[in-house]
Amino acid sequence: MTAPTKLYLAPSKTCSGQVVLPGSKSIANRALLMAALCDTPTVLTNLLVSDDTRHMRNALAALGVAQQELSDNGRTLQVNGCGGSWTSQPGELFLGNAGTAVRPLTAVLAATIKHSVVITGEPRMLERPLAPLIDALVMGGAEIKSTGEPGYPPVTIAGGLQGGAIQVDGSASSQFISALLMALPLAPNNSVLTLTGTIVSWPYIELTLSMLKVFGIEITQLTENSFEIAGAQRYRSPGEYWIEGDASAASYWLAAGVIGGGPVQVAGAGSQSLQGDVAFAEVLQRMGANIDVQPQHMTAQGVTEQSGQLRGIDVDLNAIPDAAMTLATLALFADGPTRIRNVANWRLKETDRLLAMATELKKVGAEVKLFDDGLLIHPPQQWQHAEIETYNDHRMAMCFALLTFAPVGVTILDPDCCAKTYPEFFTEFSQRCH
């Protein structure tokens, strides 16, 4: 194996400029699949071009969904949907480590596939649990089973989802719920979906419901934790669908604008965003940051505190676990400790993010206490330069870029792992931070 590349970020003092966010990964992969389920073409604009969307596109192409790039950069794409009647019969679909592809495709294929297909991925994907989704699909009549360790990919799917009374545990990932919300309208029978456990990342469920409505799917929320879903529905193309900017990615730029004085304007996500991660702006404001939020953009411009320092905070970030990673590194620049709570599902992401974050924060001199569901972070008394291991996790790489504002700089190992969602991140970051 070749050694991972390294990127040294020299100490920076300022960050300013405008950033146009890439399209949201979560929205892009949902939109690709929903467009594929329509009977008529859909043009997707501001489509994210990344590893995760490539895996979804490749899987849809293998199922017979024609796609035509209408711009040189691939960010405008026409998807010629086939209404869920797949015209090709692949034996296997490889989806890398893309949870936003594996979970919804597993559910949708359980409702639509007419032959047997295996869904598999990279070694880390095979360690990410799928049992709550498998159990719910089996409850609804689907023929699906793990071919390796029970409850994990690879899974073999042979269709058969009928609908009915279905329960799903949403305490590990909201993606299981979103997947069922996308699939159950395609089942022949009506369904009532009941959510159990403590639901994580609820804003992503709301995002899914909003998108489904745009694509012609009607779902009625009966109670806080239950939905009535009519069967035999058809996805209907909106004609054109714009994919808003990645609000999780916005968190890195907002934090950089706070530490580096700004102004940094982040275009593509704001108060009108479907994504819950825009709430990170409120977290920053609680810390004393100067953040302005407009309908489709946000601006960060330093700190409002006379001390010029951020305040450490104690905060529950269950609803925005991706942006919570940015807070973990931003906490190094705060006055006082920061406690991040209720992010136990970090352990089930691209890597065990709780352990990885604690390990890497300690390298730079921070005192870190690791809990089952979060971290307590004391800023460094004395900064230490470190080579940050990224664990093939794009968000580890991007949030630790903030350490360019440390007096000793930082070295990021394998920065190319950002290709999962934001291939140009470090190029753009280096252009704006000095």
Residues of each annotated binding site for 3-phosphoshikimate: 25-26, 30, 173-175, 201, 322, 345, 349
Q: Six-digit token pair at 238?
A: 């909106």
- Comparing CA positions, the residue from 273, 205, 293 lying closest to residue 46 is 273
Name the catalytic one among 52, 322, 393, 414.
Answer: 322
- Comparing CA positions, the residue from 262, 374, 122, 357 lying closest to residue 366 is 357
39 tagged catalytic: no
- Torsion region of 207: left, alpha or beta (phi above 0 gives left; psi -120 to 50 gives alpha): alpha
Cα(61)–Cα(47) distance, integer angstroms: 16
Taking residue 2's Cβ as centre, other Cβ atoms within 10 Å add up to 4
Sheet containing 314-316: give its strands across. Answer: 314-316, 338-341, 375-378, 367-370
- Comparing CA positions, the residue from 158, 116, 120, 122 lying closest to residue 137 is 158
Q: Six-digit token pair at 143?
A: 């023929």
> Computed over its alpha carbons, how large is the radius of gyration of the chain?
21
φ and ψ of 195, to 5 deg: -95, 135
Locus of tokens 């609000």: 247
Provide the greatest CA pair distance for the chain: 65
Strand 6-9 relative to strand 410-413, pairing: antiparallel
Residues that constitute the known binding site: 25-26, 30, 99, 128, 173-175, 201, 322, 345, 349, 353, 395, 420
Q: How far is CA 85 from CA 38, 81, 280, 372, in A?
A: 10, 9, 40, 44
Q: Six-digit token pair at 246?
A: 């990645």
- Sequence length of the chain is 434
Long-range contacts of the stretch 144-152 (C-beta < 8 A, 24+): 144/106, 144/110, 147/118, 152/126, 152/127, 152/128
Cα(409)–Cα(425) distance, integer angstroms: 17
> Mind giving me the DSSP string for 160-192?
----EEEEEE-SS-HHHHHHHHHHGGGSSS-EE
Residues that constitute the known binding site for phosphoenolpyruvate: 25, 99, 128, 175, 353, 395, 420
Q: Which residues are catalytic?
A: 322
